[in-house]
Chain A
Amino acid sequence: MSKTKFILGLFDDPDDMMHGIEKLQKNSIPIYDVYSPMPIHGIEDKLGVKESRLGYAAFCFGCLGACVIFSIVYYTLVHDWPMNIGGKPNFAMPNFVPFTFEWTILFTAFGMTFTFFAATHLFPGRAPRVMDLRATDDRFVIAVDAKGNIPHDDITNLLKEAGAVEVKHNDRKYVSYE
C-alpha cells in the first residue's frame, strides 16, 4: 500500500481543469473537491453541487428584521408612551417605513453572511484546510481521495492527459502550517 492520501491535479487553466473533471467522471473516479483562486462558472452543474439556499435564509432574516424594528417602534411610539403631537395620529405608519426598511437590510446582510460563514465553517482563527498553497494564487486543483481509487497511476495519467501541469501524490490531507 502506498502512503498517498490525496492525488492532486494542478492545472494552470480553468478550461483544462474542466476537461480534467470530465475525464475523471467518464472513468467513474469520484472527485473529492476542487480548489480555485476564482469562482468558476458552470462547475456546480458538472460536479452536481446543489444550488445554494442562502437566498431563503436571507429572505427570512429580512422578514425578521422588519418585524423586530416595527415592533419596537410600535411599542415605544404607540403603545408604551403615546404622545399628542398637534393632534396627529400616534400610529403614523409612513414614519415607520425608513426604520423598517433599514433593519430589513441590516438583518438580511448580517443574517445571510453569518449563515454563509457558519455553513462554510469560516470564522476568524480557523486553521485553513489548504491542500495546495497555490490554489489561492494561480493553480486550479482537482483533489481525488486516494483511498479506494486505484491504481493511482491511471488517475495520474488521466489528469496529465487533460492538461495538468503537475500531479501531486500527497501523504497528508492538508498542507501543514506548522
Chain B
Amino acid sequence: MASHSESIIREPLITGKDITYAKITNDVLNPVENMPNKAWWIGFTVASLGSLLWVVSISYTFWFGLGAWGLNKTVGWAWDITGFVWWVGIGHAGTLISAVLLIFRQNWRNSINRSAEAMTIFAVICAATYIVAHMGRPWLAYFTLPLPNQYALWVNWNSALMMDVFAISTYFSVSLVFWYTGLLPDIASIRDRATGLRRRIYSVLSFGWTGSVKTWQRFETVSLILAGISTPLVLSVHTIVSFDFATSLEPGWHTTIFPPYFVAGAIFSGFAMVQTLLLVTRKVLGLENYITMFHIESMNKIILLTGSIVGVAYITEFFIAWYSGVEYEQYAFINRATGPYWWAYWSMMSCNVISPQLFWSKYLRTNIKFSWFLSIIVNIGMWFERFVIIVTSLHRDYIPSSWAMFYPTWVDVSVFIGSIGLFFTMFLLFIRVLPAVAMAEVKLLLKTSSEQAKKKLIDSGTLKEAEVEYYKESLVKYDSVDMADYEK
C-alpha cells in the first residue's frame, strides 16, 4: 500500500504542521521559482571571485608551466595531489548517501541525497581540474587513453595512475547519470508550473517525464540497481586513489592499510562537507522542516564513527611502522610527528581524531552552530591528512643530501582557494536552477514518517503511553518542532 503507519518510536523525518504535497513542492521550489535573496547574492559574489582567482592561477600555471608551483626535485607531489585527494574524498559522501543508504532503506537520505549528489559531482570536477593541471601539458591528456598512436605504444595498464583514470572517469559519469535520472521527476514538476521560455527549457531538460505507473516502476528499478553498483564503485574509487601511494616504494605510503583507511577518511570528510553545505542551505532556503535535527544528528554520528575509524587507522599505521622493524618506515613516522612538519601532523591528529570525539555529547551533536564549526574543523583536518601523507613522506628522501622542504607559492595557494570558489559557485548555481531536495522522494515519506502523521496517531489515542512519551522526548532536540503542541 501507499502508506502504513510507522512505529511511533522512530523520529519524524518531516516536521511542521499542515504539510501537504503541494506545500512540499512550494517550499522546495521557492528558491528556484523566485529571485534569489540577499544571502545568495553575497555568497555567489564571494564564490565567483574565488572562481576568478582559480581561472587566473590555473591560466598562470598553464602559461608558465608547473615551475609556478612550489614543487622541487624531492617534493614532486604536494598541494595539487593533496587537493585532488581532498576533493575526491569529499565527493564520496554524496554517493554514500544516495546509494548505500538507499540499499539499507534509510529513509532520512531522501531529503539530503539530491544536494549531496550534486556536491559529489562538483567535488569530482574540482578534483579533475587538479589532475589535468598536474599533467603540466593538459593538451596531452589523451595520452592516458589507450588510443593507437604513432609511437605504436599502449598505456601502462600496470600503473595505479592508469587505474585512477578509469576509476575517476567512471565515478564521475555514473554519479552524473544517477543524479540526473533522479532529477527528472523534479524537473517535470518545475516544468508543469512554469510558463514561457522557462517551461521550454525545463521541458527539454525533463526528457518528457509524465509520472505514469510504468515510468515510476522502471525509475525505481533503475535507482535501486544504480545504487547497487554505485556502492562498490565508490569504495573502489578511493581504494584506487590510495593505490597511487600504496603501490609505490615510498616509506609511509607502501602500506596495505591504505585502501580501507582512505575510504573511511573519504566518507568522514564528505559528510563534513555535506554538513557544511546543508546547515547553511537549510537556513537560507528555509528547509528546516525537511532537513531536520534528526538528519543533522545522524550525519554527526557518521562523522563520529568514521572519525574514530580514521583515528584507529592512524594509530595502527604508527604501530605497524614500529612493528615492521623497517628503519625507513619507522623514521618516516617519527619524522611526521616530530620533524619539521610536526604542526601539520598534530593539526591532522587534533582535527580528525580528537575533535570528532566531542560528538559523543548529545548536546554538542544537536547544536547547529557547533556542528557547523566542527564540520569546518574536519575539512581542515582532512586536508592536513593528505598533506601529511604526501609532503612529509616525500620531503626526507632516502639520501639526506636531497632532503628538502616544500613551500607553496601564491599559485599553489590560489589554485586551492580558487577551487573552493569554483565548487561553491557551482553549488550556488545548482540551488538556484534545480530543486535542492528530491521532492518526489520526500513526498513518499509524508504519510508515514512525518511529524503530522505521527501526531495524528497520537491523537487517535490507540498507542502505548510509554512509547508516546519516548517519542515526545525525542522531539525536544528538534529546532523545527513546537513542543507546545504536545503539552496537554
Q: Which of A's residues lie within 8 Å of B, judged by CB?
A: 12-15, 17-18, 33-44, 47, 49, 52, 54-55, 58, 62, 72-73, 76-77, 80-81, 85, 92, 95-96, 98-99, 101-103, 105-106, 108-110, 112-113, 116-117, 119-131, 133-138, 177
Contact = CB atoms under 8 A, between A and B. Distances in A.
A99 B163 contact: yes
B177 A39 contact: no
B57 to A, nearest CB: 31
A171 to B, nearest CB: 19
Interface size class of B (residues with CB under 8 A): 35 or more
Interface in B174-222: 174, 177-178, 181, 184-185, 188-189, 191-193, 199, 203-222
B166 A98 contact: yes
A124 B225 CA distance: 23
B298 interface: no
A177 B203 CA distance: 10
Interface in B138-163: 146, 152-155, 157-158, 162-163
Contacts, number: 203
Contacts of B146: 72, 76
B238 to A, nearest CB: 12
A58 B224 CA distance: 11
B233 interface: yes
Contacts of B210: 35, 128-131, 135
- In the A-B complex, list the 3 residue pairs whose CB atoms are closest, starting with the nearest: A126-B208, A138-B21, A14-B2
Contacts of A58: 225, 229
A15 B3 contact: yes
B249 to A, nearest CB: 13
A146 to B, nearest CB: 18
A117 B207 contact: yes
A99 B165 CA distance: 10
A123 B208 contact: yes
A122 B207 contact: yes
B405 to A, nearest CB: 34
Contacts of B208: 121-123, 125-129
Given A15-B1, A122-B184, A108 B166 contact: no
Contacts of A42: 1-2
A138 B204 contact: no
A129 B203 CA distance: 11
Contacts of A131: 210
Contact of B240 (A54, A98, A138): A98
Main secondary structure of the interface of B (DSSP, over half): helix
B2 to A, nearest CB: 4
Given A126-B207, A137-B21, A177-B199, A37 B439 contact: yes
B110 to A, nearest CB: 10
A138 B157 contact: no
B1 A39 contact: no
A49 B220 CA distance: 14
Given A37-B21, A81-B154, A136-B189, A49 B3 contact: no
A136 B3 contact: no
Given A105-B229, A109-B177, A113-B226, A39 B204 contact: no
A10 B440 CA distance: 18
A39 B220 contact: yes
B199 to A, nearest CB: 7
Interface string B425-459: 00000000000000111011001000000000000
Contacts of A47: 213
A105 B178 CA distance: 12
B417 interface: no
B335 interface: no
9 contacts: A18-B2, A34-B212, A47-B213, A102-B163, A122-B208, A124-B205, A127-B208, A136-B192, A138-B21
Contacts of B106: none
B355 interface: no
Contacts of B214: 33, 49, 120
